[in-house]
Amino acid sequence: MEKITRTLCSCFDSGKLIKVIFAGKRKKSIEYKKVTIRPVTIKGEYMYQAEFHYDKKVTHKNIPYYEGIDFACDIIKNDFKQINILTEDEDIQILASKPDKPKITAQAAQRKSGDMSHDKKKQYIIEDGKPCDFLIELGVMSAEGKVFKKHYSKFRQINRYLEIADDSFDALPKEGRLRIIDFGCGKSYLTFALYYYLKLVRNRDVQIIGLDLKEDVIRFCNETARKLGYDELEFLTGDIADFVSTGADMVVTLHACDTATDFALINAVKWNSKVILSVPCCQHELFSQIKNDINEPMLKHGIIKDKFTELLTNSLRGLKLEAAGYDVNMIEFTSLEHTAKNVMIKAVLPPKENPAAKEKASQEYEALKNFYNVNPTIDMLQI
């Protein structure tokens, strides 16, 4: 799929996409016979609109711009093997009977672009074509500011993360130094992005600490920060559960494994952090605990049980944060390393406490926990 994904990235992000047509069903059981995607602007928001063509009807689905390529890839993998991409400059055909070995051809465009409701390409927070120091240093962008094709998905995901973070900044203190801790920072693309955006774009006084267990990764990140002159960005080797700090205005934890996410959330609440952005992964803790006679016919299947316990784990975490006074939203977020989708827990501490909402969430948490006979680590969060 790599060649197909690269081609889609180039077309979707060019600002010249007119339409994508998916045809040639992989299975007769697929109900719709064709799907088309086109860029639109709805209520001022740039997105894609998919049309599903059935024998006697056409249905529509609006797709956020950052999910467009993943949506197209899923259709190609599961539903259709012929793809025609129409742009202002060229027409591209992809024959993908074998998605890993597609045949891709292109010719000059045969038409003028129609009347679309947008007149320019999607404007990212960090722009393609404009040099960005940390992206250049990390090999995502050339010295001239051009994003390398093989890293375009990463570039889009970094921008998506900054959009989510930016939407939360109103909850942070308006003056003084912002203190942010990134638990399980890994290679730290997003940590560098957050520092760059807050310090260099929004001119905030900010101190960010990245924490991870891998000493070689931490060493590399510190060296990179020093090269860039990111003086208030520091990386430490350590375990989330044992980390000691005076506090943080914002806590980030992206893909912290299993119960590491819980310890990050526990610390964030203890510090009265205003914003929490958490993307859990590897959620195995409840797999061996969950027991419920009603759901046993479902839970007897390992793959179903695994997916269900992941949903249950995140639901309990969300309720526990609500019981602590946070406004919680679950957002779909895409991993930096592949196209798998993850749930991001976005928790923002409102300026005014709502005791009734806290009590309701606490009761729902206990009821859900007891119904499935589980004792998650997030239960250690004292409210």
Q: Is the confidence at residue 316, as pLDDT, over 50?
A: yes
Q: Is the pLDDT of residue 123 over 80?
A: no
Q: Report how far residue 328's alpha carbon sits from residue 322's, in angstroms, rounded to the nearest whole number.
A: 6
pLDDT in the model for residue 221: 94
Q: Which pLDDT score is estimated for 56?
A: 82
Give helix 2-12 / helix 68-78 axis angle, nearest 10°: 140
CA 235/CA 191 separation, integer angstroms? 10
Task: Inform me whether the pLDDT recorded for 219 exceeds 90.
Answer: yes
17: nearest Cα among 81, 61, 83, 78:
83
What is the distance between the alpha carbons of residues 163 and 65, in angstroms, rounded to a whole number? 12
Tokens at residue 334, please? 């895409």
Phi, psi of 175 (to 5 degrees): -130, 160
Binned at pLDDT 50, 70 and 90, residue 243 comes out as confident
- Give residue 41's pLDDT band: very low, low, confident or very high (50, 70, 90): confident
What pairing do the DSSP bridges indicate for beta strands 34-42 and 90-95? unpaired
Instruction: Please state, for a pLDDT cut of 70, what percent of the chain lies above it.
Output: 94
Of the segments 160-174, 239-253, 317-331, which one has the largest average pLDDT value? 317-331
Summarize pLDDT for 191-206 with one digit per residue, the tens: 999 999 999 999 999 9
338 pLDDT tier (thresholds 50, 70, 90): very low
pLDDT at 131 over 90: yes
Backbone torsion region of residue 377, taken as left when φ is above 0, otherwise alpha when ψ lies between -120 and 50, otherwise beta: alpha
Distance between the two ends of the chain, CA-based, in angstroms? 47
- Provide the token pair at 222: 């510190």
Q: Look at residue 140 and tell me whether its pLDDT is greater than 80.
A: yes
- Please tell me the predicted confidence (pLDDT) of residue 120: 45
With helix as H, strand as E and coil as C, how does 88-106 read? CCEEEEEECCCCCCCEEEE
List the strands of the sheet with 17-25, edge to edge: 58-64, 45-53, 34-42, 17-25, 80-87, 90-95, 103-108
In sequence order, the β-bridge partners of residue 68 are none
> Residues 6 or more apart from 373 whose CB is under 8 A from it?
289, 290, 291, 292
pLDDT bracket for residue 321 (50, 70, 90): very high
pLDDT band at 241 (very low <50, low <70, confident <90, very high): confident
Does pLDDT of 339 surpass 60? no
Could you give the angle at the alpha carbon of 364 between the alpha carbons of 360 and 367, nearest 5°? 140
Per-residue pLDDT band at 67 (split at 50, 70, 90)? confident
Least confident segment among 38-47, 292-301, 326-335, 369-378: 38-47
* 244-299 per-position pLDDT tens digit: 888 899 999 987 788 889 999 999 999 999 999 998 888 889 999 999 999 999 99
Q: How far is CA 120 from CA 19, 36, 37, 67, in A?
A: 15, 21, 17, 19
What confidence category does residue 377 fall into, taking pLDDT thresholds of 50, 70 and 90?
very high
Q: What is the pLDDT of residue 122?
A: 58
- CA proximity to 256, closest of 274, 241, 245: 241
At residue 345, the pLDDT reads: 94
Pairing outcome for strands 90-95 and 80-87:
antiparallel
Exposure of 220 by Cβ count < 10 A (0-12 exposed, 13-18 middle, 19+ buried)?
Answer: middle
